[in-house]
Every structure is written in C-alpha cells, then in structure tokens.
Structure 1
Amino acid sequence: MILARDIMTTDVVVVHPDDRVGDVVQLFVQEGVTSAVVIDKEGKIKGIITDGDIMAAVRQRRPVFVDLFNSLFVLEDNNDLTTKVQFLTPRPVKDIMTRRVIAVGEDASIAEIAGLMTDHKIKQVPVVREGQLIGLVRRHDIVQAVARNAT
C-alpha cells in the first residue's frame, strides 16, 4: 500500500498569515507553484492560499450601496483589473486564504487522500505529524504513483 509519506513533497512553500498577497504572488512565480500552506509562528497550519483564492479575490465584485431619499440603490463595481490588483496586493494573506484545510497524517493511503481530494474538490493535502507540517501531497503526486505502479 502506498502511503502519504511515500509520495509527499517535503519542500513545501509556506507563508504566514500577515504576509502580503503581492509578495505571495511573486513567490508563486519564483517557485513555479500555485499554492502555499499558511502557518503561524509555531508551525501550525492556519490555512492555504492558492492561485484560485487570488483569482477569486481579484474577480470579486463589490456592489456599492447608495441610500438616496430613503431608497437603496445598488451600483455595480466597475473598477478595472489594475485597480483591483492594486487594492489586493498590500492585503494580508489571512484576508483571502482558505481557512478550512483538510490535512492527513503520513500513514494515510493514496486511496484515502484521493477520496478527500475528490470529495472536497481540492488539489493538494498537507501532511502533518503531531500537528506540524511535514509535507504536501498534490494530485500530480498521486497520478505519478499510480503510473509507476501500473507498469
């Protein structure tokens, strides 16, 4: 049986909740990754930030509510992409990260991990030992393990 410890990536990109989103975007580009695990000073997982979280934050449409003569009007957010990105980049990671993280222990089977990924529609699962991050299993890691064992 193939376990998380057999296929996990141990070189995990990590960031902190107060890091700026703009810095994380640069880190994604430099490291060639699409996600980072968000940890606190004690190394505990606080969340995960992905390219999808960043795209959702950029895309987010904020309606503007105007009270005029006791009537409420809703105006669309017509800010262009540049304005939205400028607003987003100085914000802390904790403002847009996914807080609910599905993690597994190092003895989790790839079948279990694949099930979690499918059920929760996620692309990676942090691997923990005694509450500390020790690795990350990505969908790609599972596909590679299946391909190796299929021959």
Structure 2
Amino acid sequence: MGSSPHQVSDVMTRAVVAVGRKALFKDIVERMAEWKVGALPVLEGDGRVIGVVSEADLLPKEEFRDSDPDRFTQLRRLSDLAKAGAVSAEELMSAPAVTVHGDATLAEAARIMALRQVKRLPVVNSEGVLEGVVSRGDLLKVFLRPDNDLADEIRRDVVDVLFPAPVEPVHVIVSDGVVTLTGRVGDASGIELAARLARGVEGVVGVDCRLTAADSHAG
C-alpha cells in the first residue's frame, strides 16, 4: 500500500564484489581498494555465502609483523595471531557469516548491524546464495526522500485512512524530514496513532503532532 522502501531489498547494492575461499591475501586487499569496501563476502562455487573477510581480519598481519607477543597476549589474541599467519580467504574469514534476507525490514537490518558490530551485511536468499549487500549508508538512503514524497504518503496512508471526514482539514507539512500535522479531527483516539504511523514512514526524521479533537472542546 505505501511507497516507503520498507525492506532491505529496496535499498541494498546488487552489484557486489566477492571472493572465493581460495582467494589470496593480496588479491583480497586489492579488491577492497578497487571497490572501496571494507569487507567482502566469501562464496562457495554456487554463490552461497560461507563467511566474510573484513579489514579487521586482515590487520593482524600488520599488527604482529615484527612483534613477539608474550604468553598472555598469545592466549588472549589466539584468533588474531592465527589470522596474522593466514594467506587465503578461508583462513582469514569470519564464519559463519552474519547475513540478512532481502525481505527483512530496515529496522531489523540496523539492529543486526548494531548487535553484531558490523558495517555491512551480505543479503542472501533462502538457500544462502548471495543477492546483494546492504551497508549502513544504504539504510540511510531513506532519509534522502523528498519532503513532498513523505507528505504525499502520510496524507494518503495515514491522514486519509484515519480521518476520512475531519472537522477541519488536516494539513501535512514536511520540512527537512520533520512532519507537522495540524487540524481538528472528530475523535481524539486517532491522534496518537496518527503521530506513530507518521513517525514510522521511512525517511521521516521527526513528527510534531498538533492535531486537536472536536470532542476536547465539548461541554
């Protein structure tokens, strides 16, 4: 019904660079530099995502290049020390990969990124085959929606549905993503819902709800 891009598939990048499990360290670095990305999905032959190799996985090689870590560091940084000696994607990658499905909401993707502390997520189908990549920047694309588009959607999907016959016209003004709702409606019970639904429209930064109800002036 709405035109908001509610799903990951609406904002993800479909042209994705990836590597196979046998890709060598230098090839991985070169691809990251060429495509200006900080992580690459690692694929099996059928395109199934089996891991992700990131800049964080590559840095231990430089960190421990000339060092002779003590016993405590060896125990505490065992995984990083192993990656310092790694030469291929399958040795370097973090597995299993943290992924997301294309039909996930943007909020779900943002929550996964925050909880797992990653900046990009491979987008996979039900078989785990790569379909794209979604980044933090992709999730923020919704805030580039024009104010007029936001206002049109809120009028159509919120105001016209909740208040088909307002006491006074309900005005929707959007400026820099901030929505202002003004007017008088017949029933106060819809006001809080209108504010919540407007806030849920993708690209809305904030809502200033100034709606009043006719019954609030009765008596």
- Residue 142 (structure 1) aligned to one of 139, 157, 166: 139
Q: Which residue of 1 aligns with 2:45?
A: 41
User: TM-score, with normalisation over the residues of structure 2?
Assistant: 0.54
**Structure 2 unmatched runs, 5+:** 75-83, 146-202, 206-219
Instruction: State the one-letter code of the partner of 2:52.
Output: I
Partners of 1:56 and 1:95 in 2: how far apart?
Answer: 13
Report how far residue 93 of structure 1 moved.
1.1
Partners of 2:68 and 2:50 in 1: how far apart?
Answer: 26
1:111 matches 2:165: no
| Equivalent runs, 1:61-80 vs 2, <5 Å | 63=69
State percent identity of aligned pairs. 24
Partners of 1:42 and 1:59 in 2: how far apart?
Answer: 34
Matched residue SS, 1:134 = strand
| Equivalent runs, 1:1-151 vs 2, <5 Å | 2-60=6-64, 63=69, 91-131=87-127, 132-148=129-145, 149-150=203-204
Report how far residue 30 of structure 1 moved.
1.6
Partners of 1:62 and 1:98 in 2: how far apart?
Answer: 24
Whether the aligned pair in 2 keeps the contact of 1:103 and 1:127 (CA below 8 Å) is yes
Q: Which residue of 2 aligns with 1:70?
A: none
Whether the aligned pair in 2 keeps the contact of 1:128 and 1:135 (CA below 8 Å) is yes
Whether the aligned pair in 2 keeps the contact of 1:117 and 1:125 (CA below 8 Å) is yes
**Structure 1 unmatched runs, 5+:** 65-73, 78-86
- Deviation readout 1:54-82 (Å, 9 max, x if unpaired): 11343245648xxxxxxxxx6x99xxxxx
Return the index of the structure with the highest Cα Rg.
Answer: 2
Moved over 3 A (4+): 60-64
Partners of 2:91 and 2:99 in 1: how far apart?
Answer: 21
Q: Which has the higher contact order (CA 8 A, sep 6+)?
A: 1
- Deviation readout 1:118-138 (Å, 9 max, x if unpaired): 111111111111321101110
Whether the aligned pair in 2 keeps the contact of 1:39 and 1:46 (CA below 8 Å) is yes
Instruction: State the one-letter code of the partner of 1:121.
Output: Q
- Deviation readout 1:106-149 (Å, 9 max, x if unpaired): 11000000001111111111111132110111011112223432
Report how far residue 24 of structure 1 moved.
0.8
User: TM-score, with normalisation over the residues of structure 1?
Assistant: 0.76
